[in-house]
């Protein structure tokens, strides 16, 4: 007897039920979201709690998480730079320069896919392992030193209080799995929804942004000129949306959300999705990041090759400066006057959430006096 495929409506209901169930795992946590914005989905095996988030914040900024005590997660993801590092290419704790720049962690809880070019990595818990244990390139360099790190945590009086509160189960709570769960919980709380544009568009404050920024929004949303919304759409200004659907299928990529924008010749190891799929049509395709706080996250593109927003606009106005067989068909040359370019930049600047940069919930809790060292 042939089994019938489930009807589409049933699949949609199952998917929706799963999403609602995942979101409810964080229902009791105070996200402090503006009215109308969605709660992030939370995995069932890592429910949110204030104790776990505080533990994650401590671990996120603790430099003992690196092999030489020189770097933490917060080294490459600085709050004052919207959780980027201001470098064209990230640098690991041993000085190794990475092929790509550090992506912002802002609103990462809403991203169904993570990193520049991995189409399968969709778990913050799983992703947190990479910088700790990855060897090519080295980020924190903890591979082979895991037990030493856990012993440091186990002997620290502060962590002796925080770990049991965050993970009240029976048994040894000082595990790498719990470390990654706590860091992921903290990262989920880094949410930006308080920019002037948010107050203008969603809060009904017509004076929140300038007339220049309002004109810039029209250019941003224009199909004839600008067209930025095609890769950076929705309330989070990215192609990959909160509901998990991924645009960009016109590119022939069923995953979507990854584009070749003619930035470079894409030589190894910067070949985008190709590094994972080994499909020639994936060479040069990288994820379209959110544009929130974009004025703070220079230099731009996966390789940091464009240093200012003016350069980025010029790049796209030229239809992508480098020719490549995989270059997105969305790109085509367009012309902007100097005034129009200024308007577009003013709009992009209106996406900056100043409160994000100083919110104590996400600040480094270790003072110069209390910051632990590898010997403590």
CATH tag for 196-352 (out of 3.40.1280.10, 1.10.10.10, 3.40.640.10, 1.10.760.10)? 1.10.760.10
Task: Tell me the pLDDT tens digit for each residue of 238-270.
Answer: 874 433 344 433 333 434 689 999 999 899 999
User: What is the CATH T-level fold of the domain 50-191, as seen in this structure?
Assistant: Cytochrome Bc1 Complex; Chain D, domain 2 (1.10.760)
Residue ranges of the chain whose pLDDT lies below 50: 1-24, 240-255, 376
pTM over 0.85: yes
Give pLDDT, residue 212. 98
State how far the Cα of 312 lies from the Cα of 120, in Å rounded to an integer: 28
Intrachain domains 50-191 and 196-352 with the same fold = yes
Give pLDDT, residue 18. 42
Task: Tell me the pLDDT tens digit for each residue of 307-337.
Answer: 999 999 999 999 998 999 999 988 989 999 9
State how far the Cα of 330 lies from the Cα of 14, in Å rounded to an integer: 33
The structural domains of the chain, with segments of one domain joined by +, span: 50-191, 196-352
Give pLDDT, residue 3. 40
């Amino acid at each position: 007897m042939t089994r019938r495929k489930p009807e589409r409506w049933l699949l949609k209901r199952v998917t929706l039920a799963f999403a609602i169930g995942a979101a409810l795992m964080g229902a009791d946590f105070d996200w402090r979201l503006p009215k109308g914005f969605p709660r992030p989905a939370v995995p069932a095996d890592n429910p949110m709690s204030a104790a776990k988030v505080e533990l994650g914040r401590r671990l996120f900024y603790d430099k003992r998480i690196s092999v030489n005590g020189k770097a933490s997660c917060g080294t490459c993801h600085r709050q004052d730079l919207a959780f980027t590092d201001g470098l064209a290419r990230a640098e690991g704790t041993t000085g190794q320069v990475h092929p790509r720049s550090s992506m912002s962690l802002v609103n990462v809880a809403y991203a169904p896919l993570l990193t520049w070019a991995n189409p399968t990595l969709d778990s913050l818990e799983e992703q947190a392992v990479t910088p700790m244990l990855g060897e090519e390139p080295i980020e924190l360099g903890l591979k082979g030193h895991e037990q030493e790190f856990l012993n440091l945590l186990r002997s620290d009086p502060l962590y002796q209080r925080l770990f049991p509160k965050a993970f009240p189960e029976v048994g040894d709570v000082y595990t790498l799995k719990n470390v990654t769960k706590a860091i992921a919980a903290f990262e989920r709380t880094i949410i930006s929804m308080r920019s002037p544009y948010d107050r203008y568009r969603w809060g009904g404050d017509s004076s929140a942004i300038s007339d220049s920024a309002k004109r810039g929004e029209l250019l941003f949303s224009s199909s004839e000129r600008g067209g930025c919304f095609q890769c950076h759409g929705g309330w989070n200004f990215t192609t990959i949306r909160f509901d998990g659907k991924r645009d960009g299928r016109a590119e022939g990529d069923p995953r979507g959300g990854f584009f070749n924008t003619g930035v470079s010749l894409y030589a190894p190891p910067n070949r985008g999705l190709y590094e994972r799929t080994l499909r020639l049509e994936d060479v040069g395709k990288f994820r379209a990041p959110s544009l929130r706080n974009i004025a703070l996250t220079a230099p731009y593109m996966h390789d940091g090759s464009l240093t200012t927003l003016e350069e980025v606009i010029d790049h796209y106005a030229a239809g992508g400066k480098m020719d490549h067989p995989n270059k997105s068909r969305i790109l085509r040359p367009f012309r902007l006057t100097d005034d129009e370019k200024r308007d577009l930049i003013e709009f992009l600047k209106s996406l900056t959430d100043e409160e994000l940069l100083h919110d104590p919930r996400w600040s480094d809790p270790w003072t110069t006096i209390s910051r632990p060292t590898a010997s403590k």
